[in-house]
């Protein structure tokens, strides 16, 4: 499966949904400069995909698989990321109040120097601890549903490791 999905499950999914709808930001520290959810998703994926494409030539499995997972260019990578994570479901969750969006945390995520300072070796390392997105990326979107509540996406659910199970309820 695509490394994007493995690394950014929560942050990516909620961000994708917001991006498609262009929902206004709610919260954040600077209302005049607050990102809409759509802008946050665009910025997040653009930062992530720029990092992947900067390290394209060192992708261990080779270029054919890189293109399959991350697209031929950064724009294709962004679109693949949005599709992989069912952005439309995240958007619906925000509209329904199942996911909260924090524009301030989203701005910190997107502007983080971690995107450009990550080495290619760390990025492609099999050790998940070598490369992680900035923590603010996970904090920008938060689920509101407890274990057992009906859900439509992993981002709906509260807590580390929580996800929307096959029966459509939050589980841990």
Average pLDDT, the chain: 80
Reported confidence tier of residue 24, pLDDT bands at 50, 70, 90? very low
Where are the chain's structural domains? 3-142
Predicted TM-score (pTM) of the model is 0.72
Reported confidence tier of residue 82, pLDDT bands at 50, 70, 90? confident
Tokens of 52: 């992947």
- Looking at 30-133, list the stretches that DSSP marks H as alpha helix, in order from N- to C-terminal side: 37-54, 63-70, 74-84, 87-95, 103-111, 114-117, 120-124
pLDDT (average), residues 85-111? 88
Q: What is the pLDDT of residues 2-22, one digit of tens each?
A: 333 333 333 333 333 333 333
pLDDT at position 131 over 90: no
């Amino acid at each position: 499966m695509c490394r994007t999905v493995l690394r950014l499950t929560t942050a990516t999914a909620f961000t994708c949904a917001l991006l498609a709808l262009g929902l206004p930001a709610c919260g954040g520290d600077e209302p005049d400069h607050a990102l809409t959810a759509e802008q946050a998703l665009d910025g997040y994926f653009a930062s992530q995909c720029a990092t992947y494409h900067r390290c394209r030539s060192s992708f261990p499995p080779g270029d054919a698989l890189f293109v399959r997972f991350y697209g031929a260019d950064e724009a294709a990578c962004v679109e693949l990321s949005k599709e992989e994570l069912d952005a439309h479901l995240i958007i619906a969750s925000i509209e329904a109040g199942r996911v909260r969006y924090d524009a301030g945390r989203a701005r910190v995520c997107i502007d983080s120097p971690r995107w450009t300072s990550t080495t290619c070796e760390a990025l492609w390392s099999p050790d998940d601890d070598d490369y992680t997105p900035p923590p603010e990326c996970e904090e920008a979107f938060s689920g509101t549903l407890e274990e057992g509540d009906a859900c439509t996406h992993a981002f709906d659910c509260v807590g580390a490791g929580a996800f929307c199970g096959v029966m459509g309820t939050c589980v841990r």
